[in-house]
A and B are shown apart, each in its own frame.
Chain A
């Protein structure tokens, strides 16, 4: 399984150093929207320059190489143990090669594990998908934006938010306002309406696998995404909170069923450095891409079975 481990090292290298094209293109559009000579325009210029520099140098485009979420899609009957071993081995190697910063701290002792392996990390989810071949998606999410992620329970009196899409809209705009530039704006919102507190956060995070410009299959959610995006960008927070016209690059919303008693709105905040990479493995054929399964299938995410933590 040495080859599998090498494939995963390359996958981590790509995720950490190569900003997905759709995100980069959204940043170019954002810069074109900002007035020249403003701090917002300059900040986006530095961000775009950084994307190129990181790719050329094969260096982490942000030094916070984040929490890793792996989604592994497996053919029927495939063994999970060798894959888990390869992922862990690749994580250690990628850290040694400086594609990743040693980034996992023991919460009790305060000690850095030094190799990105720790209790609960990396997070690996296995999904049987009934197709031949293995497909793997990985997402790296830094701490600055994760600290901006939040969960509301409706009704929410402060915002006058009831248990409907208007209430959801109010919480999303409130979350953007509360984050200001601190999540490294312009960011992406990944949202789950419903579920419980656990599936809400998992599903909100799944949304970051969706390409910036995809269209929500549910037209009501699609309309809400567009409305929140347009209002958020008129809050005037701007890149890094310097003021400006681009506070968000995208809003991605999924609906989950819920208990009659609960109505959670979970808001994941992803910084502009939305790092994801994918690989399809079939026999000896290995193909890297920026096309995640969760971004393609358009089904409400969070329905993956066989979830497990490494």
Chain B
């Protein structure tokens, strides 16, 4: 386990050197996307997102934003549950060459396989720590599809500095979620005195 600082655009070598359990501080471009945005990315395959997403990170987040004069500010921007994007994320990693997925709760086997194949990682942010995390957003560069998708679902293009995360799925195919689920399952069986499917 180590402490790492990484910067977008992320290259494959850097991403492949990250290991499950590493604490990672991310700087650079973080693009929010949640349910509506993922459906859109996979079904409509928009080209305007490609240059933006290549080598950068997607953030599962529906922030509270405020417009002060002409600039947007992130007031509250913690991660949302990533599992909902499991049907889409492998395709998103493959077609947009995203190098990092930031969210909470971890993801399933298809995403893990896509991380291994294309060189990407899952970075777990601290759920609920929305004001602290919003303070790591130093600049809101853009917002796409705001009118169509609404505030929580739009693509917000954040510039972040030292955004704190933990690697819980890495490009070697390891998943901290799978390890902890297996270990806690053994403990559960011990407490209940029986084998549980």
- By a beta-carbon cutoff of 8 Å, the part of chain A in contact with chain B is 39, 42-43, 46-47, 49-50, 53-54, 57, 59-65, 98, 101-103, 112, 114, 142-144, 147, 158-160, 170, 173-174, 177, 180-182, 184, 231, 234-243, 271-273
Contacts and interface: CB of A to CB of B under 8 A. Distances in A.
Contacts of B187: 234-236
Interface in B143-197: 150-152, 164, 166, 168, 176-177, 180-181, 183-185, 187-188, 191-192, 194, 196-197
Given A61-B128, A63-B63, A181 B105 contact: yes
Interface size, B (range): 35 or more
B194 A241 contact: no
B78 interface: yes
Nearest to B105: A182
A22 B68 CA distance: 34
B132 A46 contact: yes
Query: Top 4 A-B pairs ranked by shortest CB distance?
Result: A184-B127, A50-B129, A50-B132, A63-B76
A235 to B, nearest CB: 4
Mostly helix, strand, loop or mixed at chain A's interface? Answer: loop
Given A50-B133, A240-B166, 9 more contacts: A43-B166, A47-B126, A50-B126, A143-B80, A170-B192, A173-B188, A180-B105, A181-B127, A243-B183
30 contacts: A46-B164, A50-B128, A50-B130, A50-B133, A53-B131, A53-B135, A59-B130, A60-B64, A61-B130, A61-B131, A62-B129, A62-B130, A63-B63, A64-B62, A98-B64, A101-B76, A103-B152, A112-B151, A147-B81, A160-B194, A170-B192, A180-B106, A181-B105, A184-B128, A231-B191, A236-B184, A240-B126, A240-B166, A241-B105, A241-B177
Contacts of B197: 158
A136 B83 CA distance: 36
B77 A63 contact: yes
Contact of A98 (B66, B130, B132): B66
Candidate in B66, B83, B131, B164 with the most chain A CB atoms within 10 angstroms: B131
B81 A60 contact: no
A185 B76 CA distance: 19
Nearest to A60: B76
B131 A57 contact: yes
Mostly helix, strand, loop or mixed at chain B's interface? Answer: mixed
A181 to B, nearest CB: 7
Contacts of A53: 131-132, 135
Interface of B: 1, 21, 23, 61-64, 66, 75-78, 80-81, 83, 104-106, 124, 126-135, 150-152, 164, 166, 168, 176-177, 180-181, 183-185, 187-188, 191-192, 194, 196-197
A113 to B, nearest CB: 10
Contact of A182 (B61, B78, B83, B164): B83
B147 to A, nearest CB: 12
A173 B191 contact: yes
Given A50-B128, A101-B62, A177-B185, A237 B196 contact: no
A52 to B, nearest CB: 9
Contact of B128 (A180, A236, A271): A271
B176 A242 contact: yes
Contacts of B83: 182
Contacts of B81: 143-144, 147, 182
A50 to B, nearest CB: 4
A152 B171 CA distance: 38
